Structure 1
Amino acid sequence: MIKRATGILLLGLSLGACQNSAPKPDGSNADSQLAEGIWQAVIAQNDSTNLKFNFNLESLSDSEYVAHIKNAEEIIDAKVIRLAADSFKIEMPVFANYFLVKKEGNQLKGQYINPDAEDYYLPFNATAGVSERYENAQHLYPLPGYWKVVFNPGTEDESFGKAYFEWDQEKGVYGTIMTATGDYRYLEGSGAAGKLYLSAFDGAHLFYLEAELHDTLQGHFYSGRSYHATWIAYRDSTFELPDPDTLTYLKEGYSKMEFAFPNLEGDTIALSDPRFADKAVIIQISGSWCPNCYDESRYLSKVYEQYKDQGLEIVCLSFERTRDYATAQERLAKMQKDLSIPYTVLLAGATRDDKAAEKLPMLNHIMSYPTAIYLDKEHKLRKIHTGFSGPGTPVWEDFVSENDAFLQKLLNE
């Protein structure tokens, strides 16, 4: 709620004056308070593309707020911290990315910043009281259901996905796109006059899709500040992606997994350590910058709490995007704290300088972050699951059920 400054009218000698309320100890005054309630946010990905999302702002104190960022069924709570009377920092959970903004009337204006990429500053503004994400949805009867997606059709960069969309008058359009390496998490948007608009912002993903809606969907996909692809989708409920349990495997000449990497305290942890002896082990190849890893980590945390007393260990091998070791430790510690990860977390290297495949030479490749490697109690490889289709996908419940059955069998052998 906006608190308006009250003035004191001074009468005397035909002279009047108006004075704002006194500043508070943190340098703020009533006019610098942010409006609680719904906001529309816009990140300019490039000169012609604006990614939009909404958040509800809640005041915690004069100097701190929380922005409840909405993407379809997901709500992400970001801290909004006052830096000066009219300046704020918006900190995302888990991820290192953040916003620096300044209050101007009923707006926040500033930049979205990725500290692990060179000169990554995207213009940002948010307006209080605007509830629309994109244009209000009209009748989109042809949209709901499964679609086969082709990105960059007819080019050497052609790739495939499987989309699932839903629509109703109240929620608008929502759904996701699944690929061989993961999913696009929670997409939300709307459609009007035969056009479709979808976006997702979770602190790391900056996804915006637009398309003409006919018998097919044809349009453009933008990710981050520079990636662009054309895409076309055909209604097809039978299309299947490659089996994620077949894409990553041990190379010829190797018979087992091995690792030895430092934890956040600097102690080297190896698969050969006594803590893993006679226990089934899930090795999670991950990174604090990775939204699909975020989903998998939340899932594996529940799995660990459920099965740790039955002989299951989980260890995360994290590959960070920063080249600085101390910064990588900070990124990893933030992820572990924000997600309350109860299992072992190790700093395996940097994605840019030390490729995961070079640190784990027994694997044919690391195709995706995340990748989960399942070992039995003798540490024999049982399966490798590439990518992760999380709770924003229609296959989520089946995956959880099937993986639970697999783990029970693994632990009872």
Structure 2
Amino acid sequence: MVPKPSGSLLSGARKSGIFNGGSGPSSGVSIHDRLSARSRVTNLGVVLLLGFAGFSALLNLRYMLFHRGSSIPQNIIEFGGRTPDSLTASVAPPRTGAEKLNHLVIVTGHAVWAGCDVKGKDNDENWVLEEYQKGGSVKTFYKHIEKGMQLTNEDPNALLVFSGGQTRPNSLQTEAESYYSLALSAELEVPMIAGSLVNLTTGSSSASIGSLAHANAAVATRHGLQDARMTTENYALDSFENLLFSIARFREYTAHYPARITVVGYAFKKARFEDLHAKAVRWNTQGFLHKGERTFQYVGVDDEGLSDSETVAQSRGEKLKAFNLFDKDMYGCHGRLRQKRIERNPTRRFHPYMSSAPEIADLLNWCPAENSGLQGLYPENLPWDARVIGTGWGRGALAVKANSKGNIIPDTRWLQIGREQ
């Protein structure tokens, strides 16, 4: 038989709450009832839950503020900022002499040359045109080609990139390919990489191969065309992409980024490129290289014979239909600018530069809030950021660190990319 507790022991147990949950002798709650009752959340538990919820909210807010649209794309995570091996395995190394190229010359495409005889280059029927381009614009397109070829021939370190995608539903040829074709068939002097086969044969830094090229297909019969200092960028759908994608194509072709850029296009688009597009990619438009060459230059060639009223109308159209839109949406990823890209991509082409220029994958994927303008500029470091002596960091990288008060440390990968200044 189990002995019963003494009165004093029982009394002490009740007072201590062993049998009644600590509520005193008056409650009379048995230990069985106490253990079987529903659990109650203490004040401490509530505080802990609220604290955890608050901390989670702060983390989400920080992520939205500092990572909106700029989180590292999946390919960067997987490829570590490098082109995937499965692609590089089937790509030839850059041409010998390409390592000396540092000047990107861009000729922006506006239409598709569809002629078979270069003598008809000034005729509208040999081009795939928008209605507003008819009546003289094709002469200007050819002048853009001529100017781009001239500038590239004058600088042995220049690479000419014709830029323009497959924008027309009634033509599978890209704007860039058609410009390249016309340049070859027009018997213009083609710039060649120093030491190339054609260069060694002719003893010149350029070659005339137009008479040996089939006009529309741009198929040359001379060996060494692969060493021409000119290529195509076949995916751009607007002027911003002409600039950004041509930089990526330069990287794709040479395995490095340019030190200077010259754009050839309509003169009335100069402000759009210098004040908006160059700023959007954070390219220095006011700098000079050590030999005095400008880091950015825009060469404008407009239609001839326009009346004053036509010139005014042209400028007004540029302001309303392009400049003002890009001023608010500098990356062209919202509203009407986005819709234009969709309309100009009828055959659903995808550019390759996330893989072939992976160092700028974040920039290629950047899309800030709608109508953000300058406030939505890509904030992280870029390969062409000028290095700051004594820090090793580019100015863009330092700006990121300063704006985030040290909470974001730029990726050290970028220290190995781009030019040092």
Name the TM-score, length of structure 2 as normaliser.
0.24
Rg larger for = 2
Q: Which has the higher helix share?
A: 2
Q: Higher RCO, 1 or 2 (CA under 8 Å, sep at least 6)?
A: 2
Give the strand-richer structure, 1 or 2.
Answer: 1
